[in-house]
């Protein structure tokens, strides 16, 4: 404990030198700028800007990357809230209620809540990272394919709670998403599935083009031609900040999202993406007013944003403690360290304490810089809503294309985005929710891989899925959840879902 | 009565059947050793069930005729411009594509003034290229004449 | 809508005129060169390509830009270069998998994304032999222990890999074929997850580049048994090679090399070779590669062609030996 604090002091002595703070600041600004682009989230932002940091020394480069990462994360939620365009898969849930809030004139409040939620989640999870990294990392490594499978199935069950409307429609959309996720090379055998000779489909269809298409493009297609385009909103300074009631409503969601996100985040792999979906579902379940979700519930912004942020910090646990690239973002960070001659691994903490603790401290600094930077920026960003929609949407489209193209340098991704935009437009007309499709696309390859890896490990014995303690526990929890989900069918009476339908009846369709 | 749910349910059912048909080329594998077609077929079966259920129970949903497609011309125009952008991006280069796309959308679809359209399109095309390609070193496609 | 069509038509016409207009003979290089990396930023290929590009820039006095064209385990970027204009302005930095992908395509009877002979080899930049590591809590102390146990329990010892027909998978298959043993394969999506799997004890063995596993060997979590190289790995002088142990068929390197489209004019190729040759001597480049702990292994011209062809032949045989993954 004392040692940790001493080390942290060492870290801050590195992170608080003017040169380092400067790069943290530059990183945050650039990250925010790039993250504001539709389609570019933290991962794409870091990958795209990694080369720009090669010229710096190791500490500065890492600090700048941490800044870019946090900036991109925050920038992503900005476009989600203001334009309904997710910067990455995890901010899909923010789009729903964040954009609804913006249309009600509460864009400033949503942005501020997202910023504060991210700040709290980021800071708390770095503290957890510092004190708990070694034991948690050992635990995280026990997540093999069977545990992963169980976790993802649990995530899938959460779907049933995600939708506000009919559960059947949500499940059908999820199944559609899972099927879309089957496109590409089968990673266990090397067969091409449903690619029809398009080599670019080998890696499957990316989540980002799907999310940007289904949300951003579909939104534009549906609203640009309306006889009365979305009104220009002129935000007043007083309305920029969340009201006392909004603060109260988001306090618990931020807390829950932080813990939940961190726990899901430490699991190696890409499971951290589901944290925001799970958080949204939990908040809706716990809310006294579930009918507000989808119509601008502040908890629907606070929970997922916090969960997302702390999940990605949680992903650094195995990387820092063990030197294992435990997910896409840590992998890029590891690469950045290698470029600067820092060999990542279990000995990193001992051999280069100033770098390790400097990195931890710079995560604190990055969070603070972002808060300082972004709260005033809320006032700037909301002014985007002053731009008349006929001028705004063509620009958004350009940035959608730019963002989606730049990630892989692939025009096929742009075409996927277009196809998904058309699909999203039609589904919107038919009154279907599209978020379950995104979750399906994310989960399908992971669930299938984990399932078949488990069977490869056990030589075809299904018992491996339930006999390992963590996997068995997770599946048992899932079973209980499923039973609870069935309860209303048996017990009849009005559950929250039915109340919701009643409440929704009077309102006009958006 | 055609309702939104029925139409969607029928479409999903057809898609599921199509996936099962397309999966026939891939080995299904066995229960203990699932092959590449295993998951798609399982998922298609699930989708089939949901699709049929939707079509069967969707009688009370919104009637298809009640869905307003008033803005379809606009939507198709925007979609076509985007398709052109995707087609031209690597052929004409980023700047030319963006300028043309924006000019068309602002000038023709939204009927803004010529001066405003030209200025806005050029500024955005050149400005965003400068920021991303030149400053941030994110390579964007260049067209003929290095544009 | 009519004007949209007209506009598109005009654009197309302009395009056609531009692309047919032949460029006059110009000194090479007169424009920026694009170096395509078919893997995402931060991977081995990307981290090798950037210092190479920077060093070549100095020699050629012309910008060399790195572009990541990712997808389908590298096939997308490789296909892109294979079919791009052979003018010396589009180059490829490929890893060993360039020889595996067309073979795997052949195996499944699908039209290959590209073939090896669509490329003109320019130079080999680095070659890293893989090494065999096992979890330290397993009983095998030597490669002999491992092989004996695997012979006793065929198909029971599991190894992770970066993906089916990926480099790490092929290394292991070449070895198990040479030793006449059968192992259980659990593919993962990339080398990182494959390493995580063995550290978590979910599999028993892994073939990997030395730099990645060295820290874990030092910390005592993994034990090296043997190497695939022609010579021992400098950092692990006590670990024998499979050649020494009597399995000459088990030879495998994760290498990185530069390629151009096949019909690139010979003068341009010569200029490029000379520039790479000068680039690998560049102190900045050496320093960058040292930091990655990747040994520079420069070969060019005939020498590289021979190395490449021998390697491609070995891997093609390997892919055929594995055959299609059995699903029945």
pLDDT in tens, C14-69: 444 444 334 445 677 877 788 988 887 767 788 788 888 888 888 888 878 888 77
Give the tens place of pLDDT for each residue, A129-177. 878 877 787 788 888 899 989 988 888 877 666 555 677 888 889 899 9
3-state secondary structure string, A3-25?
A: HHHHHHHHHHHHHCCHHHHHHHH
- The Cα of A312 is separated from the nearest Cα of chain B by a number of Å equal to 24
Q: Are residues B107 and B131 in the same domain?
A: yes
- Nearest CA-CA partner of C4 in B70, B109, A400, A218: B109
- Nearest CA-CA partner of A500 in A95, A97, A166, A103: A166
Lowest-confidence range among A467-471, B74-78, C192-196?
C192-196
Q: Which residue of C has its CA nearest to A201?
A: C72
Q: Are residues B44 and B93 in the same domain?
A: no
Q: How confident is the model at residue A420 (pLDDT cuts 50, 70, 90)?
A: very high
> Per-residue pLDDT for A27 more than 60?
yes
Q: Are residues B101 and B52 in the same domain?
A: no
The closest CB to that of B92, out of C3, C4, C11, belongs to C11
Q: Are residues B29 and B52 in the same domain?
A: yes
Q: Are residues B92 and B29 in the same domain?
A: no
> Per-residue pLDDT for A360 more than 90?
no
B139 and C31: CB-CB below 8 Å? no
Query: What DSSP character marks residue C134?
Result: E
Q: Which residue of C has its CA nearest to A206?
A: C71
Q: How confident is the model at residue C158 (pLDDT cuts 50, 70, 90)?
A: very high
Q: Which of 65-94 (B) contact A at CB < 8 A?
A: 67, 69-75, 78-79, 81-83, 85-86, 89-90, 94
Q: How confident is the model at residue C11 (pLDDT cuts 50, 70, 90)?
A: very low
The closest CB to that of A409, out of C69, C113, C189, belongs to C69
Give the per-residue pLDDT at C115. 87
Residues of B in contact with C15 (CB under 8 A): 91-92, 144
Q: How confident is the model at residue A180 (pLDDT cuts 50, 70, 90)?
A: very high
- Nearest CA-CA partner of A91 in A240, A312, A401, A242: A312
Q: Are A310 and A257 in contact (CB under 8 A)?
A: yes
Lowest-confidence range among B95-99, C82-86, C147-151?
C82-86
- The Cα of C191 is separated from the nearest Cα of chain A by a number of Å equal to 9
Q: Which residue of A has its CA nearest to C289?
A: A339
Residues of C in contact with A54 (CB under 8 A): 50
Q: Are C108 and A192 in contact (CB under 8 A)?
A: yes
Q: Are A141 and A318 in contact (CB under 8 A)?
A: yes
Q: Are A168 and A179 in contact (CB under 8 A)?
A: no
> Per-residue pLDDT for C4 more than 50?
no
Work out the average pLDDT over A434-451: 88
Q: How confident is the model at residue A381 (pLDDT cuts 50, 70, 90)?
A: confident
**C67 close to B (CB below 8 A):** yes
B120 and A405: CB-CB below 8 Å? no
Interface probe with C: pick from A48, A137, A190, A198, most Cβ of C within 10 Å: A190
Q: Are C67 and B139 in contact (CB under 8 A)?
A: yes
User: What torsion, rounded to 10 degrees, do the Cα atoms A384, A66, A91, A395 define?
Assistant: 30
Q: Are residues B45 and B95 in the same domain?
A: no
Q: How confident is the model at residue A498 (pLDDT cuts 50, 70, 90)?
A: low
> Per-residue pLDDT for A507 more than 50?
no
**What's the CA gap between A354 and A86, in Å, rounded?**
36
Q: How confident is the model at residue C328 (pLDDT cuts 50, 70, 90)?
A: very low
Per cent of chain C over pLDDT 90 is: 20
Interface probe with A: pick from C40, C107, C170, C182, most Cβ of A within 10 Å: C40
Interface probe with A: pick from C199, C210, C219, C290, most Cβ of A within 10 Å: C199
Side-chain-facing half-sphere of C13: CA atoms under 13 Å: 6
Q: How confident is the model at residue A417 (pLDDT cuts 50, 70, 90)?
A: very high
- Nearest CA-CA partner of C189 in C223, C219, C166: C166
B90 and A411: CB-CB below 8 Å? yes
A409 and C196: CB-CB below 8 Å? no
Q: Are residues B57 and B83 in the same domain?
A: no
Element (H, E) at C298: strand C296-300
Packing angle between helix A2-15 and helix A353-381, nearest 10 degrees? 60
A175 and B43: CB-CB below 8 Å? yes
**What's the CA gap between A200 and A204, in Å, rounded?**
8
Q: Which of 180-239 (C) contact A at CB < 8 A?
A: 184-189, 192-193, 195-197, 199-203, 211, 214-216, 218-219, 221
Touching subunits for chain C (3+ Cβ pairs under 8 A): A, B
Give the per-residue pLDDT at C9. 44
Cβ pairs A/C, distance under 8 A: 154
Mean pLDDT of chain B, nearest integer: 86
Residue with tokens 């899932």: A478
**B100 close to A (CB below 8 A):** no
Work out the average pLDDT over A327-332: 76
Give the per-residue pLDDT at C7. 44
A182 and B43: CB-CB below 8 Å? yes
Q: Which of 153-182 (C) contact A at CB < 8 A?
A: 155, 158, 163-165
- Nearest CA-CA partner of A87 in A212, A214, A210: A212
B112 and A452: CB-CB below 8 Å? no
Work out the average pLDDT over C258-282: 90
Q: How confident is the model at residue A379 (pLDDT cuts 50, 70, 90)?
A: confident
Give the per-residue pLDDT at C142. 92
Give the tens place of pLDDT for each residue, A281-324. 888 888 888 888 888 889 999 999 999 888 888 887 777 777 77
Residues of C in contact with B78 (CB under 8 A): none
> Per-residue pLDDT for C152 more than 80?
yes
CA C299 to chain centre: 15
pTM above 0.90, yes or no: no
Q: How confident is the model at residue A76 (pLDDT cuts 50, 70, 90)?
A: confident
Q: How confident is the model at residue A253 (pLDDT cuts 50, 70, 90)?
A: very high
**What's the CA gap between A272 and A157, in Å, rounded?**
16
- What's the sign of the alpha-carbon dihedral A63, A68, A71, A76? negative
The closest CB to that of B30, out of C7, C11, C328, belongs to C328
Cβ pairs B/C, distance under 8 A: 43
Q: Which residue of B has its CA nearest to A392?
A: B106
Q: Which residues pair with C161 in a beta bridge?
A: C187
Give the per-residue pLDDT at C16. 42
Q: Are residues B77 and B61 in the same domain?
A: no
Give the tens place of pLDDT for each residue, B5-58. 888 999 999 999 999 998 888 888 888 888 888 899 999 999 999 999 988 887
Q: Are residues B76 and B132 in the same domain?
A: yes
**What's the CA gap between C323 and A83, in Å, rounded?**
50
- The Cα of B108 is separated from the nearest Cα of chain A by a number of Å equal to 12
- The Cα of B38 is separated from the nearest Cα of chain A by a number of Å equal to 10
**What's the CA gap between A372 and C223, in Å, rounded?**
48
Residues of A in contact with C185 (CB under 8 A): 456
Q: Are residues B58 and B43 in the same domain?
A: yes
Range of the domain at B8: 4-66
Mean pLDDT of chain C, nearest integer: 83
Give the tens place of pLDDT for each residue, C193-234. 888 889 888 999 999 888 788 888 988 889 999 999 888 888
- A370 is written with which tokens? 């972002």
> Per-residue pLDDT for A442 more than 90?
no
Q: Are A129 and A265 in contact (CB under 8 A)?
A: no
Domains of chain C: 32-128+254-322 (3.40.190.150), 131-227 (3.40.190.10)
Give the per-residue pLDDT at C24. 43
Give the per-residue pLDDT at A406. 81
- The Cα of A337 is separated from the nearest Cα of chain C by a number of Å equal to 9
- Nearest CA-CA partner of C275 in C52, C41, C49: C52
> Per-residue pLDDT for A398 more than 80?
yes
The closest CB to that of C67, out of A338, A409, A457, belongs to A409
**C25 close to B (CB below 8 A):** no
Q: How confident is the model at residue B139 (pLDDT cuts 50, 70, 90)?
A: confident
Residues of C in contact with B139 (CB under 8 A): 34, 65-67
Residues of A in contact with B112 (CB under 8 A): 390-391
**What's the CA gap between C127 and C294, in Å, rounded?**
8
Give the per-residue pLDDT at B47. 93
Residues of C in contact with A347 (CB under 8 A): 215, 218-219
Give, rounded to a whole angstrom, the gap between the first and last alpha carbons of chain A: 53
Q: Which of 124-143 (C) contact B at CB < 8 A?
A: none
**C50 close to A (CB below 8 A):** yes
Residues of B in contact with C31 (CB under 8 A): 146
A343 and C113: CB-CB below 8 Å? no
Interface probe with C: pick from B77, B84, B121, B137, most Cβ of C within 10 Å: B84
> Per-residue pLDDT for A493 more than 50?
no
Looking at the 3D structure of chain B, how many domains does it have?
Answer: 2
- The Cα of A152 is separated from the nearest Cα of chain C by a number of Å equal to 16
């Amino acid at each position: 404990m004392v040692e940790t604090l001493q080390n942290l002091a060492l870290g801050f002595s590195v992170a608080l030198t003017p040169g380092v703070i400067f790069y943290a600041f530059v990183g945050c600004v650039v990250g925010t700028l790039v993250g504001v682009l539709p389609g570019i989230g933290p991962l794409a932002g870091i990958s795209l800007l990694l080369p720009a940091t090669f010229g710096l020394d190791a500490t500065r480069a890492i600090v700048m990357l941490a800044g870019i990462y946090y900036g991109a994360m925050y920038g992503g939620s900005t476009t989600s809230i203001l334009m309904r365009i997710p910067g990455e898969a995890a901010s899909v849930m923010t789009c729903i209620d964040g954009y609804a809030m913006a249309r009600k004139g509460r864009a400033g409040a949503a942005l501020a809540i997202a910023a504060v939620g991210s700040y709290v989640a980021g800071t708390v999870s770095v503290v957890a990272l510092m004190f708990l990294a070694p034991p948690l990392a050992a635990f995280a490594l026990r997540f093999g394919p069977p545990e992963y499978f169980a976790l993802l199935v649990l995530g899938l069950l959460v779907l049933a709670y995600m939708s506000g409307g009919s559960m059947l429609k949500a499940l059908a959309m999820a199944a559609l998403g899972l099927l879309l996720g089957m496109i590409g090379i089968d990673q266990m055998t090397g067969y091409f599935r449903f690619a029809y000779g398009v080599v670019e489909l080998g890696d499957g269809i990316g989540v980002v083009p799907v999310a940007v298409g289904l949300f951003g493009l579909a939104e534009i297609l549906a609203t640009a031609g309306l006889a009365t385009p979305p009104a220009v909103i002129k935000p007043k300074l007083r309305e920029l900040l969340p009201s006392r009631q909004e603060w109260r409503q988001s306090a618990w969601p931020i807390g829950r999202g932080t813990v939940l996100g961190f726990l899901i985040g430490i699991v190696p792999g890409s499971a951290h993406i589901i944290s925001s979906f799970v958080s949204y579902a939990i908040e809706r379940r716990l809310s006294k007013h579930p009918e507000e979700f989808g119509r601008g519930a502040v908890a629907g912004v606070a929970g997922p944003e916090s969960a997302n942020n702390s999940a990605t910090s949680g992903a650094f646990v195995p990387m820092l403690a063990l030197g294992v690239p435990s997910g896409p973002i840590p992998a890029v960070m590891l690469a950045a360290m290698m470029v600067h001659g820092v060999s990542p691994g279990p000995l990193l903490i001992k051999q280069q304490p100033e770098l390790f603790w400097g990195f931890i401290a710079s995560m604190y600094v990055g969070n603070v810089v972002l808060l300082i930077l972004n709260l005033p920026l809320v006032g700037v960003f909301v002014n985007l809503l002053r731009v008349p929609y006929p001028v705004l949407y063509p620009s958004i489209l350009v940035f959608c294309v730019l963002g989606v193209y730049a990630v892989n340098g692939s025009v096929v991704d742009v075409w996927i985005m277009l196809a998904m935009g058309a699909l999203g437009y039609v589904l919107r007309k038919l009154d279907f929710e599209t978020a379950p499709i995104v979750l399906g696309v994310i989960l399908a390859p992971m669930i299938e891989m984990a399932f078949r890896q488990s069977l490869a490990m056990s030589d075809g014995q299904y018992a491996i899925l339930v006999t390992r303690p963590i996997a068995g526990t997770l599946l048992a929890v899932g079973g209980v959840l499923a039973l609870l989900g069935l309860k209303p069918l048996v017990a009849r009476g009005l559950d929250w879902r039915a109340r919701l339908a009643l409440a929704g009846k009077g309102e006009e369709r958006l | 009565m055609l309702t939104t749910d029925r139409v969607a349910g029928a479409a999903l059912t057809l898609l599921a059947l199509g996936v099962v048909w397309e999966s026939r080329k891939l080995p299904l594998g066995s229960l203990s050793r699932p092959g590449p077609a295993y998951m798609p077929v399982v998922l298609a079966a699930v989708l089939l069930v949901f699709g049929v259920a939707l079509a069967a129970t969707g009688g009370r949903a919104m009637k298809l005729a009640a869905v307003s497609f008033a803005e379809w011309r606009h939507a198709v125009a925007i979609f076509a411009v985007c398709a052109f952008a995707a087609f031209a991006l690597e052929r004409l280069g980023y700047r030319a594509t963006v300028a043309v796309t924006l000019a068309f959308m602002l000038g023709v679809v939204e009927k803004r003034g010529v001066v405003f359209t030209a200025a806005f399109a050029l500024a955005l095309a050149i400005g965003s290229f400068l920021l991303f390609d030149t400053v941030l070193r994110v390579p964007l496609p260049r067209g003929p004449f290095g544009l | 809508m009519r004007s949209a069509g007209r506009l598109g038509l005009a654009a197309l016409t302009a395009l056609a005129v531009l692309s047919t207009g032949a460029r006059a003979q110009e000194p090479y290089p007169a424009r920026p060169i694009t170096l395509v990396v078919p893997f995402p930023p931060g991977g081995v290929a990307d981290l090798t390509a950037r210092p190479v590009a920077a060093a070549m820039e100095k020699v050629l006095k012309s910008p060399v830009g790195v572009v990541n064209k990712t997808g389908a385990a590298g096939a997308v970027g490789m296909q892109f270069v294979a079919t791009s204009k052979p003018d010396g302005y589009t180059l490829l930095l490929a890893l060993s998998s360039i020889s595996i992908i067309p073979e795997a395509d052949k195996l499944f009877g699908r039209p290959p994304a590209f073939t090896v002979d669509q490329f003109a080899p320019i130079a080999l930049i680095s070659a890293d032999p893989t090494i065999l590591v096992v979890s330290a809590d397993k009983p095998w102390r030597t490669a002999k222990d491992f092989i004996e146990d695997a012979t006793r329990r065929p198909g029971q010892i599991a190894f992770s890999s970066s993906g089916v027909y990926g480099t790490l998978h092929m290394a292991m298959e070449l070895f198990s074929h040479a030793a006449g043993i059968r192992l259980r394969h659990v593919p993962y999506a990339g080398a990182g997850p494959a390493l995580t799997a063995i550290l978590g004890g979910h599999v028993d063995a892994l073939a990997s580049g030395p730099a990645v596993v060295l820290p874990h060997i030092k910390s005592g979590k993994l034990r090296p048994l043997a190497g695939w190289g022609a010579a021992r790995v400098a950092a692990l002088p006590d670990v024998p090679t499979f050649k020494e142990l009597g399995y000459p068929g088990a030879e495998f390197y994760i290498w990185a090399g530069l390629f151009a489209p096949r019909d690139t004019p010979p003068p341009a190729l010569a200029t490029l070779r000379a520039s790479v040759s000068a680039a690998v001597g560049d102190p900045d480049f050496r320093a960058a590669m040292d930091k990655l702990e990747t040994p520079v292994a420069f070969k060019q011209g005939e020498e590289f062609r021979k190395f490449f062809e021998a390697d491609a032949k070995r891997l093609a045989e390997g892919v055929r030996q594995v055959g299609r993954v059995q699903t029945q």
